[in-house]
Chain A
Amino acid sequence: MSAGTQNRAAIYGIVGKSGSGKGLCVKGEIIKKWRGPILVASPLEDSDNYTEVIKGVVCRSITEVVSAIQRGHKRVVLRTGEFTPAQIAAVKSRDPVAALTKIQFDRFCRIAWELTGWMIVVEELSRFTTASWAPPSWKNLSTAGRHRGLTLVGVCQRPAQVDKDFFGNCSTIRCYKVGFQNDAKVMANTLFCTPADILSLEQFHYIERDVDGNKNRVGVAKLPKR
């Protein structure tokens, strides 16, 4: 796929509390159907295990990610937020890991920007953005990623704590059960439904909005066959 404005925006926003079924959606549907290269930012890789899901390589720094891509790997997972004690000690911040993670995520997004035709998956978006702040490189991805032929997947549990602009740029938003009223309000606003619709969702049930088609549908996550 080549970069250009003819690329249709493919930006997925997947929302739901832990165990609601969003993992099944990302791993069992979106990634499963994708045959191209993937780059994943995975802050909870021990439990999410994207490396196994995409049969990729795991990296612990931006340098490793770049090295992997330049060596021809096309399925790459960055375990975010892993820093050496020396790095953590040197950062003058109340939360040095968060400060370093911000910088790391900015670089991750800048790498993603270069990867024409790739799928970019960002897990636990609330670890990288807030309702009022996101690195410019992330904003670039979510607003202009389609020009680069990128497919972007943003996953979060707490939509109220995520960069608001992201949902405004999604082509598809899928919402599973959320845990807080604030989150239900944000998603109701995004999906043009009521907070009660969101709060009443049962496990694995979702409301999905096709933003381009201006349509909502309800569904149930496909459970993997045992």
Chain B
Amino acid sequence: MKTIENQPQDGQPALEFPGLSSIANEEAAETVQLEADAQAGAQAEADARAEDATAGWLQAVDVAGEIISATWQSARPVWNPPAKERLASALAHCDEVYGWGGVGAIMSHPLLGLAFAAFPLVIGTAKAVAEERRQAAVDVEAKEVLKPTMVDPMATAAGHPASQGAEAA
């Protein structure tokens, strides 16, 4: 098929149609404008999408921050708004790059649901075990401390040999 590029009219005098150029210019200007509009529209759409994604992730980070802060009170200052926003923004970027499918898709993943359900149990159990161990250690220590001080005043008075060691200590 002939196109105007591959079939120049060599030898033909260029035709003078003064009115035509302005019509072509109209279209050319409009095309430039439309393409600029399309680019701006696409950018605005991408920005809005990124903003939506970040907002979704921020909600998730807020929830996570609350759970962690409730568990470890001392971590509450660490989970401050600017830090959470940075984390949400990074997660949104990863989501876009790795195609996680959005915060909704991630949050509805069964393993994540399991993790959320298990987290308080694991932490609570760990805390209970730690507390139990701590208590046991305190008890052992108390026994150790109290053991040598258990002196029978009657025996002391009677000059019992058991009281002599205690006095020396």
Contacts and interface: CB of A to CB of B under 8 A. Distances in A.
Interface of A: 51-52, 55-59, 61-73, 84-87, 89-91, 103-104, 107, 110-111, 113-115
A71 B63 CA distance: 69
Contacts, number: 94
Interface of B: 1-4, 7-9, 12-17, 19-21, 23-24, 26-28, 30-31, 33-35, 37-39, 41-42
Given A59-B4, A71-B4, A86-B34, A114 B20 contact: yes
B17 A89 contact: no
B42 A71 contact: no
Contact of B23 (A72, A85, A110): A110
Contacts of A72: 9, 12-15
Chain A interface SS verdict (over half): helix
A37 B14 CA distance: 14
Contacts of B38: 85-87, 89-90
A108 to B, nearest CB: 9
A56 B34 CA distance: 30
Given A57-B2, A67-B24, 12 more contacts: A64-B4, A66-B17, A69-B17, A71-B4, A73-B7, A87-B31, A87-B38, A89-B38, A90-B33, A90-B34, A90-B38, A114-B19
A63 B9 CA distance: 17
Given A57-B2, A57-B3, A69-B15, A90 B23 contact: no
A57 B27 contact: no
Given A58-B2, A70-B14, A71-B8, A91 B23 contact: no
Contacts of A56: 2
A70 B38 CA distance: 30
A66 B41 contact: no
Nearest to B34: A90
Nearest first, the 9 A-B pairs at minimum CB distance are A72-B12, A72-B9, A66-B24, A90-B38, A86-B38, A90-B34, A90-B37, A89-B38, A62-B27
A107 B27 contact: yes
20 contacts: A58-B3, A58-B4, A62-B26, A69-B20, A70-B20, A71-B8, A71-B15, A72-B12, A72-B13, A84-B31, A84-B35, A85-B38, A87-B38, A90-B37, A90-B38, A90-B41, A104-B27, A110-B19, A111-B20, A113-B19
A71 B9 contact: yes
Interface-central residue, B1, B4, B8, B34, by most chain A CB under 10 Å: B4
A135 B38 CA distance: 26
Contact of A111 (B8, B23, B31, B33): B23
A69 to B, nearest CB: 6
Contacts of A67: 4, 24
B135 to A, nearest CB: 69
Contacts of A52: 1
Contacts of A86: 34-35, 38-39
Contacts of A115: 17
Contact of B27 (A63, A84, A90, A114): A63
